[in-house]
Chains A and B, each alone.
Chain A
Amino acid sequence: MNQDINIKKVRLNCYRQSKVPGEFMLQMRVPGGTVDAKYLSYVEYIAKTWGDGNFHFGTRQTFDITGISYENIPAVNEYLETYIKEVDAQLCNVDMDTVAHEPHPWDPKEGYPTIGARNITACIGNYHCICGNCNTFELARKIEPIIFPSHYHIKINIAGCPNDCNKAHLCDFGIIGVARMTYHPERCIACGACVRACQHGATRVLSANPAIGKVEKDPCCCVGCGECVRVCPTSAWTRQETKFYRVILGGRTGRQTPRTGKMFLNWATEDVILGVLKNWQKFSAWVMDYKPEYLHGGHLIDRAGYKKFKEIILDGVKLNPECLVAEDIFWHETEYRSNFNVKPLSMHHTAGPKG
Chain B
Amino acid sequence: MLRFIVRRLLQLIPILLGLSVLLFAWLRALPGGPAQAALGERATPEDIARYNDAFGLDQPIIVQYLKFLGRALRLDFGTSSRTGRAVTTEFLERFPGTVELTVFAMIVAIGIGIPVGYLAARRHGSWIDSTSVIGSLLGVAIPVFFLAYMLRLVFAVDLGWLPGSGRQDVRMDATHVTNFYVLDGLLTREWDAAWDALVHLVLPGIALGTIPLAIIVRITRASVLDVVNEDYVRTANAKGLANATVRRRHIIRNALLPVSTTIGLQTGLLLSGAVLTETVFAFGGVGSALREAISNRDYSILQGFILILAVMYVLVNLLVDISYGLLDPRVRVR
Partners in one complex: no
